[in-house]
Amino acid sequence: MSTIQRLLRCFRRVPAGRGLAATNSAAATGAQSRLASSNVPNSGGSAAPAVHRSPSPTSSTSSHSQTATLLNMAPRFCPTDANSFANTDEIRITHSHLSLAVDFDKRILEGSVTHTAKVVGKSVTEFVLDTSYLDIQQITLLGKEQEEGQTLKFELATRDEKFGSRLTIHFSEAVAAETVVQVCIKYATTDKCTALQWLTPSQTVGKKLPYLFSQCQAIHARSMVPISDTPGVKITYSADITGPANLRVLMSAVRTGEETVGDKKIFRFSQETSIPSYLIALAVGNLASIPIGPRSTVWSEPEVIEAAAWEFAGTEEFIATGESLLTPYDWGIYDLLVLPASFPYGGMENPCLTFVTPTLLAGDRSLVDVVAHEIAHSWFGNLVTTQNWEHFWLNEGFTVFLERKIVGRLQGQPVLEFDAIIGLKALTESVEHYDDIKRPEFTCLCPRLENEDPDEAFSSVPYEKGFNFLFYLEKELGGPAVFEPYLKAHVTKFAHKSINTNDFKTFLYEFYQDQEGKTAILNAVDWEAWFHKPGMPPVTNVFDDSLAKACQQLADEWDAARDQEKPNIDKSSWEQFSSSQKVMFLEKLLQKPSLPHSHLAHFAELYNMPAIQNAEIRFRWQWLCLQAAYTPIFSQVATFLGQVGRMKFVRVLYRALDKCGAEGKEVAKQTFLKNRSFYHPICAAMVAKDLGL
């Protein structure tokens, strides 16, 4: 079916008297069609949210009765995900087609999504989806190829601050079990969309053309498309995206064609491997590309494409090593997109198109392990997916475990365990942070997230506590030769599925049940402590510290010299360190009492710290200075915070600056206010909360 045919079917008006009455827009412009908030209590005693009802053109007793019934209903959440409204136990999306136009002037996406969905319950009368700040304009139940569509009534509930607005679509009659339906939703995003960041030309490297990119994890896809926004539902998708002809559109899918129409260009995509909604990704900008392997291309703005291609030249080796450990790569292509500096993460594992931060372009390939991490997601997270965000460690803990195995295969086991030591320090910092803000429950491997925004629980805990748990299990069960076959079997069993921690544990027992002594080992594991107790892991793993000893030794030298007027420390050790060892050395210093200001000044001069461009080193050096409230560093921190939007750096430095007395607090506030529009909406919201703004 052509794009034009699909749109005509989706938006064709229903003749008078056929099907359900046509609905009005539930957007802000249709305020006159909204009902006032209802104060009818739900079963828990709190007020049920009001709904925005699309009124029927004619009043009837039955429609008023239906309104009363709906207003008395408590909000219903997805039975497998406390962070979604979708009724996935009754009807499930299997495929979605996006037909959207990118409007840089209005800063919106506008068009439609057509969901193909299957009734999985006995029958269903409603189709409930997640939305957030969307302008829902019209909903149509598509008929067969030549049949008219049927316009459906819908309601958009009053927005929940954390989870958005529940969209309830009403079928004219009950739809029987196993029935497949196609529902087309005409909509537009709004200026409050949290998934999209629109960059002006001045915010890009080239300074000439605008840029757009999305970030949907954890629950922001619902602000870009009305959908079942839960990782418990995996779908295939296709798309045709219309944008300016002088820009390129990329998505987390295989490119299937493009067509120029006047000053516009239509780009077409297909993702045939099922994915959760948070992996739908879009980027639009002035993008160049260079092939870097048999199945990989790197994309970026032209000004940095050569540097990006050089930095990520080893990508194929990471993929091949992952395949040797697990199963064949399932996604066809593995491309990389180097985003502008405001991208809030180190990387995002969007299938077929990993998004990465430009802070990885260190010029020495010292930070490309992030790519190994994102490639590892091709198996853990993308192929085998967490059922909901309470089991996020099944994505990230397994991914870190595989990432380090890939690096260990290529660089040696001491490097794997050296990275684990650095990771343990990050875990300690996260545990201390949540203790400081009185939210220790977020340090559980399986935190309870009912009525919680998953972004609030985002930290190194699922990554590093999860890794430590798997490292511990591998050691207890007999080492890599015994555990790696289980990893492969785990992927084979759960590929294309969404699972929870109990699924993992049950299969782990099943896999080892016929191997002598393994069940007894598993029975000795303190599962409750690992999964549900806050804080550091219940078992402290011992890692090979051969590469860390020199870092510790140099940190001890600086610590011992704190009473000297000018430390007599040779710079040769620093010069011989790898970039990772420099990071480790700074991490060790961060664990000690703050150095005197005079020593920090000498440190900066001795190691020429202002000239360092490696973001990981630069970040930790500035953090070390802020721990000592070293005011000469404030201007450098403010400059750095205006250059990067990666939350790993930004949130820590803002919090540290905010603790540096009245002057530091004011610098933090003014720096944030100056750069707020530069940051992605997710990052800006988190920093504002950190600073109490």
Binding residues for Zn(2+): 373, 377, 396
Could you give the CA distance from residue 305 to residue 307 in angstroms, rounded to a whole number? Answer: 5
Known binding site for a peptide: residues?
Answer: 215-217, 344-349, 646-648
Question: Which tokens go with 690?
Answer: 């950190």
Could you give the CA distance from residue 59 to residue 603 in angstroms, rounded to a whole number? Answer: 78
Could you give the CA distance from residue 492 to residue 54 in angstroms, rounded to a whole number? Answer: 46
CB atoms within 10 A of CB 89: 13
| Closest of 353, 395, 361 to residue 376, by C-alpha | 395
Question: Which tokens go with 609?
Answer: 């710290």
Could you give the CA distance from residue 667 to residue 127 in angstroms, rounded to a whole number? Answer: 49
Distance set, CA 347 to CA 371, 399, 457, 640 (Å): 8, 13, 18, 19
Distance set, CA 567 to CA 208, 226, 549, 556 (Å): 49, 61, 21, 12
DSSP 464: I
Q: Which alpha helices (DSSP H) does 304-450 contain, by range? A: 305-311, 315-325, 369-376, 393-411, 413-436
- The answer to whether 613 and 363 have CB atoms below 8 angstroms apart is yes
CA 375 to centroid of chain Cα atoms? 15
* Sign of CA pseudo-dihedral 22, 25, 31, 34: positive
| Conformational region of residue 451, where left means phi above 0, alpha means psi within -120 to 50, and beta covers everything else | left
H-helix or E-strand containing 27? none
Known binding site: residues?
Answer: 215-217, 344-349, 373, 377, 396, 646-648
CB atoms within 10 A of CB 605: 11
- The answer to whether 178 and 119 have CB atoms below 8 angstroms apart is yes
Cα atoms in the 13 Å half-sphere on the side-chain side of 340: 29
Sequence-distant (≥ 6) Cβ neighbours of residue 21 within 8 angstroms: 56, 57, 58, 151, 153
Which are the catalytic amino acids? 374, 463
Q: In what order do the strands lie in the sheet with 165-176?
A: 51-53, 153-157, 165-176, 123-131
Please write down the HEC assignment for all residues of 497-529: EEECHHHHHHHHHHHHCCCCCHHHHHHCCCHHH
Identify the burial level of 165 via C-beta atoms within 10 angstroms of its C-beta, where 0-12 means exposed, 13-18 middle and 19 or more buried.
Answer: buried
